Amino acid sequence: MNPEETEQYMNQSMIQGQVGQGASANAMAQYYLQEQDKGLASAQLEVDSIKEEIYHLIRQDNQKEIRGKFQWIPLENQGGRTLSDWGVDRIMQIIHFYINKNTLLSNFNEEQINRLMLRFIRELNDLILLKYQVIFREPTFEECKKIILDKLDNRQKMRIFAMEIIEKKADKEEIKKELLYELEKTIDKEMEKTRNEQRKEKLRDYGLIIAQLEIMVYSTLNRAFRGEERGSLRRHMNVSELIGTKPTPMDKEKGGFFGWGRK
């Protein structure tokens, strides 16, 4: 092989190496952009965290920092919960139908969103009013017992106080026996009365619960207003494709794959 052939062979080898390097760099860049797109789409359409937050909020769990991370902790006093376990599960079933990826990728106009929200509020309101006895948490026997004993203790204190006012000696044990005797005749009614009172107390929160769920669902439907959610994903993917087709820095410096010929 003479010197001219050797030089030509070396030049061809350099060209092939540059082409291979450029193709490899472009493939890596394209793969990186595709992975970024997948990550963005997954994050943008991820709704499980939203539903998880709703679940814990309607259960009235508390969020506390443990070892540098926030975690949901069940309410210590379960008697303070407004909804029953069945009520929480039933409401979450409804939420699943409204907050999901299909909803985000839909294309709703303002009229459709308003109609869906009106239907959602009506159905949720009817469900609560018709099944409030099972949706709202009923106090347990032990909780009712404690409430009744606390009332009995207060009545005992009030009677002792009344006797002290008229300067009459009060026998605490005797007063307690009298109150227990009175309660014995009406204990069943008192227990039912306590349950109803506690249930009515829970019912006062139903308006706030509806308002909270309304804003969560309304926010989700608005993300699908005129297909904005899928539109933003499509725009980002188009931009990524344009970036992926740009020449690599090596190509620019070399003037393209055949820039060697212009040196």
Q: What is the pTM assigned to this prediction?
A: 0.64
| CA distances (Å), origin 54, targets 47, 105, 111, 195, 215 | 11, 21, 26, 27, 11
Q: What is the mean pLDDT of the chain?
A: 76
Residue 235 has pLDDT above 60, yes or no: no
What is the model's pLDDT at position 85? 92
pLDDT at residue 232 is higher than 70 = no
Q: Which sequence spans correspond to the domains of the chain?
A: 44-240
Give pLDDT, residue 111.
Answer: 93
Listing DSSP states for the chain in one string gives: --HHHHHHHHHHHHHHHHHHHHHHHHHHHHHHHHHHHHHHHHHHT--HHHHHHHHHHHTT-EEEEETTEEEEE--S-GGG-SB-HHHHHHHHHHHHHHSSHHHHT--B-HHHHHHHHHHHHHHHHHHHHHSHHHHBPPPPHHHHHHHHHHHHHHHHHHHHHHHHHTT----HHHHHHHHHHHHHHTHHHHHHHHHHHHHHHHHTTHHHHHHHHHHHHHHHHHHTBTTHHHHHHHHHHHHHHHHHTSPPHHHHHHTSTTGGGG-
**pLDDT > 70 in the chain, percent:** 69
Grade residue 144 by pLDDT with cuts at 50, 70 and 90. Answer: confident
Q: Is 239 left (phi over 0), alpha (psi -120 to 50) or beta?
A: alpha
Predicted local distance difference test score (pLDDT) of residue 2: 56
In this predicted model, what pLDDT tens digit does every residue of 175-200 receive, in sequence order? 788 878 777 778 888 888 888 888 88
